[in-house]
Amino acid sequence: MNSFGKVIPDYWQICYPVSYYFIGAYLYTYQEEIKKISNIKIISLFTLALATFTLTDTLSSWNREFQWLDHNDYFGYQTAIMTVLIIIIIWKIPVPKWSQRLLKSLSTATLSIYLISDLTDQFVYGFFKLEIPNLSQRVMAGPMIIPVAFSSAALVGILVGKILGLPFKKKENRGS
């Protein structure tokens, strides 16, 4: 595409987790202003981005195996744009009072859930691979396996987060 360099440099690949942190901080800072954007505009932008990315990814993979490239991989700009739009759409959905505590626990534990998920995924998927050796049967069991994998990572991640946070809670209590 560009013989002198890339349009979007490779540093995004190694710094995408930090970039997501700053994107989240920006969105949180301007949350009230963002919520004022009309639903029609957000849904239209989401649909346009989804259609554009689907079309370009389909065309780049035409008549061959799907091409995982820098722009459509988990660290790519397509994922970042869709993530931002999905977060904005979710903000516009009213949250029932009963689920706010659960969502707050999950949102404050996302880093520990993310960090522990590799370990719990290896255990959960390894277990199901042994118990259900046939791949097509495992695919059919996916709706059960995926929630088990997420729940185990969430439970362990929240527990680890609470344990690691104990020394800081004691310091806060002494300071009061």
Q: Running DSSP on this structure, what letter comes out for residue 96?
A: P
Say if 2 falls within a structural domain. no
Same domain, 116 and 156: yes
Answer with the residue of higher pLDDT: 2 or 153: 153
**Residues 68, 43 within the same domain:** yes
Residue 29 binned pLDDT confidence (cut-offs 50, 70, 90): very high
Please check whether residues 15 and 86 belong to one and the same domain: yes
**106 with 171, same domain?**
yes
Q: 50 and 27, same structural domain?
A: yes
How far apart CA 113 and CA 152 sit, in angstroms, is 9
Indicate the range of 4-13, 54-63, 95-104 predicted with least confidence.
4-13
Q: What residues make up the domain containing 109?
A: 97-175
Q: Are residues 116 and 141 in the same domain?
A: yes
Instruction: Among 91, 112, 130, give the residue marking a domain's end.
Output: 91
Regarding whether 110 and 164 lie in a shared domain, the answer is: yes
Q: How many domains does the chain have?
A: 2
Residue 174 CA, chain-centre distance (Å), reads 36
- What does the pLDDT read at residue 2? 43
Q: What would the DSSP string read from start to end of 30-53?
A: THHHHHTS-HHHHHHHHHHHHHHH
**Residue 167 domain-assigned (yes or no):** yes
31, 25, 80, 92 alpha-carbon torsion, rounded to 10° = -20
Tell me: pLDDT of 36 over 70: yes
- Same domain? 149 vs 104: yes
Amino acid at 77: Y
DSSP secondary structure letters along 114-140? HHHHHHHHHHHHHHHHHH---HHHHHH
Q: How confident is the prediction for the chain on average, in pLDDT?
A: 83
Please identify which residue in the block is written with the tokens 């969430």. 154
Stated pTM of the model:
0.60
* 25 and 80 together in one domain: yes
CA angle, corner 103, sides to 142 and 109, nearest 5?
80
- Quote the CA–CA distance of 13 and 73 in Å, as a whole number: 9
Same domain, 119 and 152: yes
Are 85 and 69 contained in the same domain? yes
